[in-house]
Amino acid sequence: MAHTTSLPATPTTKILAIGTFPPDTDMQLVQHILPTEVRETAQLYLEGKLDQWYSLQDRAGVAFILNVTDVSQAHEMLEALPLGKAHLMTFSLFPIGPLKPLSKLVNPPSPQ
3-state DSSP helix/strand/coil % of the chain, to nearest 5: 35, 25, 45
What digits encode the pLDDT tens for the residues 46-85?
999 999 999 999 899 999 999 999 999 999 999 999 999 9
**Cα–Cα distance, 82 to 68 (Å, whole number):** 20
Map out the domains of the chain as residue ranges.
Answer: 22-97
**Span 12-29, average pLDDT:** 95
The reported pLDDT for the residue numbered 8 is: 59
- Residue at 85: amino acid letter: K
Return the ∠ at Cα 63 (arms to 28 and 87), rounded to 5°: 40
The architecture (CATH level 2) of 22-97 comes to: 2-Layer Sandwich (3.30)
The reported pLDDT for the residue numbered 22 is: 93
Assign 3 a pLDDT band (cuts: 50, 70, 90): low
Contact status, residue 78 vs residue 94, Cβ threshold 8 Å: no
Phi-psi region of 48 (alpha: psi -120 to 50; beta: other; left: phi over 0): left
The reported pLDDT for the residue numbered 101 is: 73
